[in-house]
Amino acid sequence: MTNYVIAEPCSSRKDTNCLDVCPVDAIHPNRDSPDFATADKLHINAQTCIGCGSCFRACVAKAIFDRAELPAPLAGYAQENSLYFQAAGRVPA
């Protein structure tokens, strides 16, 4: 299954179209999260994402990539997305 990752183009921009279209609340921090205002970027929970691609199509910053097609300079963002959820205690480390 395709799995998506949010990379550097999201940083400091944090366009929120993706939050509006995700059917499974896989993108965080969402607007209800205490850290939404201070977060530098958004992240996709690989364990929740169903790979529908809606966020990929909605992102005006072109910050969302198929995990398998991340450009080499952005490869670290696959782990960065995962670490966000591990640090937040949302998935096992």
Q: Interface residues with ligand SF4 (CB under 6 A)?
A: 4, 21-24, 26-27, 44, 49-55
22 versus 78: smaller Cβ distance to ligand SF4: 22
Closest distance of CB 6 from ligand SF4, Å: 8
25 versus 40: smaller Cβ distance to ligand SF4: 25
Closest distance of CB 46 from ligand SF4, Å: 9
- Kindly report the backbone phi and psi dihedral angles of residue 77, in degrees, each rounded to the nearest multiple of 5, phi listed first: -75, -20
CA distances from 40 to 6, 7, 68, 91 (A): 12, 11, 24, 21
- If we measure between CA atoms, which residue out of 47, 51, 43, 34 comes closest to residue 14? 43
Closest distance of CB 17 from ligand SF4, Å: 10
Please give the distance of CA 77 from its chain centroid, rounded to a whole number.
Answer: 9
